[in-house]
Amino acid sequence: MPIKIYNTLSSKIEPLSPIKKDKINLFVCGPTVYDYSHVGHARTYVAFDMFVNYLKYFKFDVFYLQNITDIDDKIIQRAKEKNISPKELAKQFEKEYMTDMQVLQIKSINKYARATEHIKEIISQVERLLAKGFAYQATDGIYYDVSKFKEYGKLSGRTAEAAEDGTSRIDEGIEKKNKADFCLWKISKEGEPTWPSPWGKGRPGWHIEDTAITEKYFGAQYDIHGGARDLIFPHHEAEIAQMEAISGKSPLVKYWMHTGFLTVDGQKMSKSLGNFTTIRDFRKENSPQVLRMFIFSSHYRSPIDLKDTAVNEAKTNVEKLQNLAAELQNINKNGKGLVFTAFNELQDRFWQALEDDFNTPKAKAVLFEIVSLANEQIAKNELAINQAKKILNFLKEINKIFLFLDFKKAKEKQEIPKEILELAEQREKYRQAKDWQKADEIRQKIENLGYLVEDTSTGPKIIKK
């Protein structure tokens, strides 16, 4: 079955069919580097990381490109407040962003492209838009004339007239011809960073950096563009207007994918609302695996509310997987070897859920059916070695995509120190002799040393807490 994904452009779930057979060029809007990244950013970047890992797992040759907005109004403003240069500030927070990505184990991005390193390409795009009559010059910069692009609004379903309703990051400009016109090149004010251009010293507008970067690496058309849904309008709409006007080719992007928001009490987590938790603060209490499991548990297009209950559930689920992996690595004698047909069927259902618009919550439900089934069979001593290996292998394979499991930890869990094993043996002797008090004392001692004893039908089992 082909992979299917929801395309914002058509508002339909479509089979994924790249422009060039198995090659996929994919671009996701990167961060504006003026502050620490928050869990909302992590939601979008982890979701795309999982999706790209998934495509690569199925042998698509993916080139994943991300821009870094290292010049814009917010950077200039924040740098002023901190009394440092915008360049210094951007450099510092780009480094922090990279650290966060590393901690979250996001390794799927092939190339990060800074806006300030693509000024030549940006100027070339503005020149071509002017030459084709899609742009005009005002005192404070060059603007895109949306009335010239007949298909304006085709991604968001919004008209040029409704452009400003309820959206931020719309360019102001007293000489604008239409409300929705946006700035391509800003003439710099005193003290702001500048680059020379045919229209005077200035800096790029926000939307043009992305099309300049994607044109350089991918050309006029490519396969997938992603970001969170706040970017559909005006940002992605503007990208379409720019690039399709320049190239005369349509569509700029074959599949537009948008993630839902991470919310707090139903409101988008954002720096401007002040309701954010930085990734590094979140990490003080939770492992990267827990954050990835939390994100995996919701569909990428749905909102996720950051609630303790949901995070704790993710924590428990990571524990469950970790415990199972430890158990499976530990099986060294053959159980009765029940025929394990259900597992194959469940495995198929897991992959089918992902094929259907990357439905991770559905896949998660199937994964935990597998966990229950395996635990049941382990408890009854019915799992054969080859079956245990098969399940363990499945967990290892899916972890290449989702990275919600730490196999090193699972292995540590499995290696029970000699001292603990001896205590467990002593306890068992007391139990056999029905000396419950002494047996309980030893159980407490074992617990204090960080291990749990579970009495199963096949004897005591020791697990690292």
Distance between CA 196 and CA 85 in Å, rounded? 19
Minimum CB separation of residue 364 from ligand AMP in Å reads 19
Instruction: Report the residue closest to ligand AMP, judged by CB.
Output: 40
* Ranges within 26-85 binding ligand AMP (CB under 6 A): 29, 31-32, 40-41, 43-44
235 binds ligand AMP (CB under 6 A): no
Token pair recorded at residue 106: 């996001």
Q: Which of 119, 262, 314, 439 is close enough to bind ligand AMP by CB under 6 A? A: 262
Minimum CB separation of residue 48 from ligand AMP in Å reads 9
Helix axes 86-103, 73-82, angle to 10 degrees: 110
* Ranges within 266-305 binding ligand AMP (CB under 6 A): 268-270
Token pair recorded at residue 432: 């056999």
Q: Which of 261, 300, 340, 451 is close enough to bind ligand AMP by CB under 6 A? A: 261
134 binds ligand AMP (CB under 6 A): no
Buried b (16+ CB within 10 A) or exposed e, 40-57: bbbbbbbbbbbbbbbbbe
Stretch that binds ligand AMP, among 17-25, 228-236, 317-325, 442-450 (CB under 6 A): 228-236
Minimum CB separation of residue 29 from ligand AMP in Å reads 5
Minimum CB separation of residue 69 from ligand AMP in Å reads 7
Q: Which of 184, 228, 354, 366 is close enough to bind ligand AMP by CB under 6 A? A: 228
Nearer to ligand AMP, 148 or 158 (CB): 158
90 binds ligand AMP (CB under 6 A): no
Minimum CB separation of residue 27 from ligand AMP in Å reads 11
317 binds ligand AMP (CB under 6 A): no
Stretch that binds ligand AMP, among 128-136, 141-149, 223-231, 340-348 (CB under 6 A): 223-231
Q: Which of 79, 183, 231, 245 is close enough to bind ligand AMP by CB under 6 A? A: 231
347 binds ligand AMP (CB under 6 A): no
227 binds ligand AMP (CB under 6 A): yes
**Residues recorded for the chain:** 465
**Residue 335 and residue 383 in contact, taking contact as beta carbons nearer than 8 Å:** yes
234 binds ligand AMP (CB under 6 A): no
Nearer to ligand AMP, 55 or 68 (CB): 68
210 binds ligand AMP (CB under 6 A): no
Minimum CB separation of residue 418 from ligand AMP in Å reads 48
Nearer to ligand AMP, 286 or 381 (CB): 286
230 binds ligand AMP (CB under 6 A): yes
Identify the residue whose tokens are 């998934």.
54
Chain contacts with ligand AMP (rule: CB under 6 A): 29, 31-32, 40-41, 43-44, 227-228, 230-231, 259, 261-262, 268-270
